[in-house]
Structure 1
Amino acid sequence: MPYLWLLWLLLATVYDARQRRIPNWLVLVGAAIALSALAMNAQPFGIRWPDALTGSALGFGFLLLFYAAGVMGAGDVKFAGALGLWVGATPLLPIWIFASLLAGMHAVLWLALQRLAWFPRLTLMLSGRPLATDDPGVRKHTRPIPFAAYLAVAAAVWMVWGRQS
């Protein structure tokens, strides 16, 4: 099961980094696998139903505040809810903190590159806008920071190093 979880995190990271969105099917797959693992008593992190449901509610509920403020997309919120099913409530705070640090570094680098204009392709990549902006069929992204991708990276780091103690 940890390999399915890591595969789900990888898919979310790549999808959010490239598209700046998390599709519902990806959130539902992650949640379904987490619920199946709980039902089969094969949860890779040893959490039980109450902690998983609490983690899901906290993950969803906390980030819902940021969505309501207009600074986060709905996919990030749903992804955090599914992530909470996997890890439970306790590791969510360190995962959020690390993901927020990564997102903050992304924002600082993006702002610096916008001002310096030394690396225009890197600036476009960090902004989430497509490199070929002349194509009218390509949607322009309004949120430059792929927070779900950073949540996924932080969760993978937690799995490898955070659980050692």
Structure 2
Amino acid sequence: MTSVYLMWLLFVIVYDLRQRRVPNWLVLAGAFSALATQALGAGPFGHDWPAALLGGAVGFGFLLVFYALGLMGAGDVKFAGALGLWVGPSALLPIWVIGSLLGGLHAVLWLGLRQWPISNRLSLMLFGPSQISANSTPTRVRFIPYAAYLALAAAIWMVWGRQSG
């Protein structure tokens, strides 16, 4: 079932980078897949039902605070809840740290390109589809595709993080 998990992460990464949103159908597909693999005893991370449900609640609840403050989109929050179902609560902290570092790097690049526009293609990728000119500010408040960075961090954690733990 690892391939289902990784495919879901790939869809989230591509969708969030291109559209700056994670649609409900994609979040629900991930949550349903996590619950189905858990029910079949085929979850790739080997945790039990309480850990899966706690991971979902912690993932959703922690990022809900940032949504309430207007710092994050609802799709990011729902994605974190579905991701928590897959990985359980113990993996969320390293995934959040890696994802936040990637998001921070995105913000630094965004600020640098606002000062010194080098590449229109790179600016479009960082600013999102709503950005038209390199000198203007983005029309979207949430320009960092955080779910994509969380998904990338989850894949990184799956490959390297679990080997050390």
What's the TM-score once normalised by structure 2's chain length? 0.92
Q: Which amino acid aligns with 2:99?
A: A
Preserved contact between residue 16 and residue 22 of structure 1 (Cα < 8 Å): yes
| Counterpart-to-counterpart distance in 1, 2:71 and 2:129 | 17
| Counterpart-to-counterpart distance in 1, 2:92 and 2:152 | 13
**Deviation string, structure 1 residues 55-74 (Cα, Å, up to 9, x no partner):** 00000000000000001000
| Counterpart-to-counterpart distance in 1, 2:27 and 2:90 | 21
Aligned pairs for 1:9-158 within 5 A: 9-130=9-130, 141-158=140-157
> What is the DSSP-based 3-state SS (H/G/I as helix, E as strand, rest coil) of the residue aligned with 1:85?
helix
| Counterpart-to-counterpart distance in 1, 2:123 and 2:43 | 40
> What is the DSSP-based 3-state SS (H/G/I as helix, E as strand, rest coil) of the residue aligned with 2:71?
coil
Percent of aligned positions that are identical: 64
| Counterpart-to-counterpart distance in 2, 1:36 and 1:129 | 34
| Counterpart-to-counterpart distance in 2, 1:126 and 1:6 | 23
Displacement of 1:143: 1.6
| Counterpart-to-counterpart distance in 2, 1:132 and 1:152 | 27
**Deviation string, structure 1 residues 120-157 (Cα, Å, up to 9, x no partner):** 33223201134668xxxxxx543210000000000000
> What is the DSSP-based 3-state SS (H/G/I as helix, E as strand, rest coil) of the residue aligned with 1:163?
helix
RMSD: 1.3
Deviates more, 1:121-130 or 1:25-34: 121-130
Deviates more, 1:111-120 or 1:93-102: 111-120
Preserved contact between residue 18 and residue 129 of structure 2 (Cα < 8 Å): no
Q: Which amino acid aligns with 2:149?
A: Y
Preserved contact between residue 38 and residue 48 of structure 2 (Cα < 8 Å): yes
**Deviation string, structure 1 residues 93-143 (Cα, Å, up to 9, x no partner):** 00000000000000000100110122233223201134668xxxxxx5432
| Counterpart-to-counterpart distance in 2, 1:52 and 1:38 | 8
Count, aligned residues: 159
> What is the DSSP-based 3-state SS (H/G/I as helix, E as strand, rest coil) of the residue aligned with 1:28?
helix
Q: Which amino acid aligns with 1:110?
A: W
Preserved contact between residue 125 and residue 131 of structure 1 (Cα < 8 Å): no
Residue in 2 that maps onto 1:160: 159
| Counterpart-to-counterpart distance in 2, 1:49 and 1:14 | 29
**Deviation string, structure 1 residues 67-102 (Cα, Å, up to 9, x no partner):** 000010000000000000000000100000000000
| Counterpart-to-counterpart distance in 1, 2:120 and 2:163 | 41
- What are structure 1's unaligned runs of at least 5 residues? 134-139
